[in-house]
């Protein structure tokens, strides 16, 4: 008597497929977060070498970017190394400096970008008067105070570049809880240089 092969019912197969897809998605998401954390560890090491006087220190041998600044927000326990070049391959590892804007530490508007679900997810928790500190490659610390938070449409909105005074602009995609990546909306945080720290020489 030959044995009959039993085929799982269609609902069971669907459940198994959904379970496999869910596990794959969880694994991929966990890898993204793990990669971001590991990158920041390597970037911290590269930043230490930068402060010691080395120029354009690559955080890993095949990197095509390097640290240009350190961004800290004491009230939110944020400490991130900023990379040169606001490109997709760079943003995967940390917040990035838009090269068309003023270099951190120079007079003008400095623009930093980051992903809404990793390094720049904290932007939704920033409020007016929160302090942001930027450390430059020379070790100088610049203090900024958040003055504006707004949404913008990347298809029509622009960022005004002030060449007379130091300003910091942080940009990420919006909304923060969007399921699909991309989209035209951006969340913009503007911070002005803190005259209190500047006057005291800090």
- DSSP calls for 31-42: HHHHHHHHHHHH
- Give the pLDDT confidence score for residue 174 in this predicted structure: 92
Residue 5 falls inside a structural domain: no
How far CA 107 is from CA of 37, 50, 143, 144, in Å, comes to 31, 21, 13, 13
CATH of the domain at 168: 2.40.260.10
The verdict on pTM exceeding 0.75 is yes
Full residue range of the structural domain in which residue 118 is found: 10-200
Query: What percent of the chain stands above pLDDT 90?
Result: 57
DSSP labels for 126-140? --TT-EEEEEETTS-
Q: Which residue in 74, 99, 98 sits closest to 194, CA to CA?
A: 74
- Give the pLDDT confidence score for residue 177 in this predicted structure: 84
Residue 4 falls inside a structural domain: no
Residue 134 falls inside a structural domain: yes
How far CA 20 is from CA of 14, 23, 24, 30, 87, in Å, comes to 10, 5, 6, 15, 32
Residue 50 falls inside a structural domain: yes
Mean of all residue pLDDT scores within the chain: 84
Model pLDDT for residues 37-63, shown as the tens digit of each residue: 777 789 999 999 999 999 999 999 999
Residue 104 falls inside a structural domain: yes
Residue 99 falls inside a structural domain: yes
- Give the pLDDT confidence score for residue 55 in this predicted structure: 94
Q: How many domains is the chain built from?
A: 1
Residue 3 scores a pLDDT above 90:
no
Query: What percent of the chain stands above pLDDT 70?
Result: 79
More confident residue, 66 or 41: 66
Residue 3 falls inside a structural domain: no
Model pLDDT for residues 129-182, shown as the tens digit of each residue: 999 999 999 999 999 999 999 999 988 877 878 778 889 999 999 998 877 777
- Give the pLDDT confidence score for residue 192 in this predicted structure: 94
Residue 138 falls inside a structural domain: yes
Partners of 129 in the beta sheet?
none
Q: Which residue in 151, 190, 156, 149 sits closest to 174, CA to CA?
A: 151
C-alpha 190, offset from chain centre: 15
Which pairing describes strands 78-84 and 131-136: parallel, antiparallel, or unpaired? Answer: unpaired
């Amino acid at each position: 008597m030959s044995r009959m092969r039993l085929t799982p019912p269609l609902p069971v197969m669907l459940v198994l497929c959904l379970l496999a897809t869910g596990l794959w998605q969880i694994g991929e998401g966990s890898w993204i977060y793990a990669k971001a954390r590991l990158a920041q560890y390597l970037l911290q090491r590269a930043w230490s070498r930068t402060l010691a006087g080395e120029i354009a220190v690559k955080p890993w041998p095949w990197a095509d970017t390097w640290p240009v600044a350190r961004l800290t927000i004491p009230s939110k326990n944020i400490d991130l190394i900023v990379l040169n070049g606001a490109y997709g391959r760079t943003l995967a590892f940390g917040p990035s400096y838009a090269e068309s804007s003023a270099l951190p530490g120079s007079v003008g508007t400095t623009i930093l970008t980051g992903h809404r679900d990793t390094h720049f997810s904290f932007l939704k928790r920033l409020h007016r008067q929160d302090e942001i500190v930027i450390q430059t490659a020379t070790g100088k610390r610049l203090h900024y105070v958040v003055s504006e938070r707004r949404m913008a449409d990347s298809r029509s909105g622009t960022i005004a570049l002030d060449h007379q005074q130091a300003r910091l602009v942080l940009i990420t995609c919006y909304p923060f809880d969007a399921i699909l990546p991309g989209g035209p909306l951006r969340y913009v945080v503007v911070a002005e240089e803190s005259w209190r720290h500047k006057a005291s020489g800090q």
